[in-house]
Structure 1
């Protein structure tokens, strides 16, 4: 078992994101997971990301607040405990349009070259 305490989580900057603090909860450390990493993204009101895509799929889980996910012009609002999968290469934009911080768990497989 690999335990990582919240106070030991390191922040990271994700490209093409704004108004967000990202914390790496699991992944990229000795003894950690070998097939995915887990981050906690805390988006301020007006924060967001994109439009962009990635070569691997992503899973978003809303822990608190809400997030608007925009794919092909269609907007979907995710609220507490809602989740979605963003397939590899799907262009998406996300926006926190509320006045509350949105806490979102992000699960991403490692790219093949970093395994």
Structure 2
């Protein structure tokens, strides 16, 4: 078992994110998960990510607040404990359209080795 305390999580900057503070909860470390990493993202009001896509799928789980996910012009609001999977190559736009901070878990496979 690999335990990492929240107090030991390190910040990271995700490309094309705005008004977002990310912490890496698991991954990219000795003894950590081998297939994916887990991020904890905190989006301020008006914050978000994209539009962009990745060549691998992602899973988002909203822990607090609300996040709007837009794909192909269709908006879906995710509330507390709602989740979604973003398919490889799917262009998404994330936005916190509320006046409260939103918190999300992000599960992402490691990028392919080059």
TM-score by length of 2: 0.98
| Alignment partner of 1:12 is 2:12 | yes
Counterpart-to-counterpart distance in 2, 1:112 and 1:47? 28
Structure 1 residues 33-55: Cα deviation after superposition (integer angstroms, max 9, x where no partner): 00000000000000000000001
Stretches of 4+ moved more than 2 A in 1?
Answer: none
Counterpart-to-counterpart distance in 2, 1:56 and 1:83? 17
* Aligned ranges 1:6-45 → 2 under 5 Å: 6-45=6-45
* Aligned ranges 1:73-84 → 2 under 5 Å: 73-84=73-84
- SS at structure 1 position matched to 2:97: coil
The Cα of 1:111 is off from its aligned counterpart by: 1.6
Q: How many residues align structurally?
A: 114
- SS at structure 2 position matched to 1:7: helix
Counterpart-to-counterpart distance in 2, 1:112 and 1:45? 33
- SS at structure 1 position matched to 2:113: helix
TM-score by length of 1: 0.97
Counterpart-to-counterpart distance in 2, 1:110 and 1:50? 19
Q: What residue is the counterpart of 1:112 in the other structure?
A: 112
Unaligned runs of 5+ residues in structure 2 are: none
